[in-house]
Amino acid sequence: MTSQPNALEIEDLVMHFGPVRAVDGVSLTIAAGRVTALVGESGSGKSTVGRCVVRLVEPTAGVVRIAGTDVTHLSRRQLRPHRDAVSIVFQDPAASLDPRMLVGEIVAEPLRLAGRRVPRREREARVAPQLERVGLRAEVARRYPHELSGGQRQRVSIARALVSEPMLLIADEPTSALDVSVQASVLNLLADLQRDIGFACLFITHDLSAVEYLADDIAVMYLGQLVEKGSRERIFARPAHPYTQALLAAAPVADPVRQRQRQPVLLGDDLPSALDPPSGCRFRTRCPLAFDRCATEVPRQVPIGDGMAACHLVQPDGTGPDVRTADPSEVLS
């Protein structure tokens, strides 16, 4: 039996925009049919990773493999046969849908881009079930995007992204521009489609409750680098990196009793500039546990199961201090 290739393999990805080190050595693998959430503060480089994968920007260095094929150095033309393997859904459907095109044309567009000319009848035949799959009526094909609500427009984006049956979907904050009242239904739709169709997904988000609901694995990004990777269960139960611990502590908890008992860890200042990241551990300027070595030595990635955490205080068994409970003055004594 031949096993399926990984949907996505990223090795040492670097994306510098001139002096801006947006992505600085990211490695990540997503197996077929799995969902990895990419989380981290605004400006940490999450969207840039997604944009490199779909080649909206040309990476400075590193390797991107989609469905087993190294697409890093393929020309636009060579890329065509591989285009079908990956799609992207953006945050703002109003900005990502061409206002002059009918919904039916928008949904069918990836078929044309993949180099196939699709006759009108066949196009309509492919678009109707695609719209129904995302909870829209087939008549919507004859409407323009501005005639639809935000939630409906994002359903159109999802239909377009899935029309070519991709092995991998990049979903870049797909609900955060939507009205709060429709966010859950679009998220539910994405989860249902993922379970039914089984595509792999890089799910970029700020929303940790969505992560809990949708993701198999979590990758935590800080200032252009991954600081922790692991299964959703492990990261929620035993986050190893101080930054992951702080992120989880900052997220609201559904249970009001637990919410009141928590001691939130304040991350304090804003993310440092990607123009001039701190030496050693990039998190050290905000880490409550930082000590002298953190300024001089880049922490190595300590393996934890299939994942890792990059912090000097994480032990080979994946344990270490927890900023949510530790007294910083005692950590190193």
Ligand X SMILES: Nc1ncnc2c1ncn2[C@@H]1O[C@H](COP(=O)(O)OP(=O)(O)OP(=O)(O)O)[C@@H](O)[C@H]1O
**CA separation for the pair 329, 333 (Å, rounded):** 7
Q: Which two tokens stand for residue 213?
A: 């609901």
**CA separation for the pair 82, 285 (Å, rounded):** 42
**CA separation for the pair 175, 55 (Å, rounded):** 22
Could you tell me if 213 and 191 are in contact, meaning their C-beta atoms sit under 8 angstroms apart?
yes
Decide which of ligand SF4, Mg ion, ligand X, none touches 151; Cβ closer than 5 to 8 Å per partner kind: none
In three-state secondary structure terms, 271 is: coil
Residue span binding Mg ion (CB under 5 A) among the ranges 41-49, 102-110, 117-125, 222-230: 41-49
Q: Which is nearer to ligand X, 127 or 219 (CB)?
A: 219
CB of 48 to ligand X, least distance (A): 3
In three-state secondary structure terms, 55 is: coil
Q: Which is nearer to ligand X, 37 or 159 (CB)?
A: 37
Decide which of ligand X, ligand SF4, Mg ion, none touches 22; Cβ closer than 5 to 8 Å per partner kind: ligand X
Strand partners, 70: 65
- Please report whether residue 61 would count as binding ligand X according to CB under 6 A: no
Residue span binding ligand X (CB under 6 A) among the ranges 15-23, 58-66, 161-169, 309-317: 15-23
Residue span binding ligand X (CB under 6 A) among the ranges 17-25, 74-82, 296-304, 321-329: 17-25
Q: Which residues bind ligand SF4 (CB under 6 A)?
A: 242, 281, 283-284, 287, 289-290, 294, 299, 311-313
CB of 19 to ligand SF4, least distance (A): 23
- Please report whether residue 225 would count as binding ligand X according to CB under 6 A: no
Q: Which is nearer to ligand X, 39 or 313 (CB)?
A: 39
Which one-letter amino acid corresponds to residue 89? Answer: V
**CA separation for the pair 315, 250 (Å, rounded):** 24
- Please report whether residue 89 would count as binding ligand X according to CB under 6 A: no
Residue span binding Mg ion (CB under 5 A) among the ranges 45-53, 156-164, 260-268, 290-298: 45-53
Give the DSSP per-residue string, 215-267. -SEEEEEETTEEEEEEEHHHHHH---SHHHHHHHHHS--SSHHHHHH--PPP-
Could you tell me if 64 and 52 are in contact, meaning their C-beta atoms sit under 8 angstroms apart?
yes
Q: Which is nearer to Mg ion, 190 or 313 (CB)?
A: 190
Give the DSSP per-residue string, 99-132. TTS-HHHHHHHHHHHTT----HHHHHHHHHHHHH
- Please report whether residue 55 would count as binding ligand X according to CB under 6 A: no
Among 5, 11, 14, 20, binds ligand X (CB under 6 A): 20
Site map (CB under 6 A) of ligand X, residues 267-286, x = contact: -------x------------
Residue 279: DSSP 8-state: S
Closest CA to 224 of 65, 60, 8: 60
- Please report whether residue 22 would count as binding ligand X according to CB under 6 A: yes
**CA separation for the pair 4, 235 (Å, rounded):** 26
**Total of residues contacting Mg ion (CB under 5 A):** 1
Decide which of ligand SF4, ligand X, Mg ion, none touches 45; Cβ closer than 5 to 8 Å per partner kind: ligand X
Chain residues that interact with Mg ion, rule: CB under 5 A: 47
Chain residues that interact with ligand X, rule: CB under 6 A: 17, 20, 22, 40, 42-48, 274
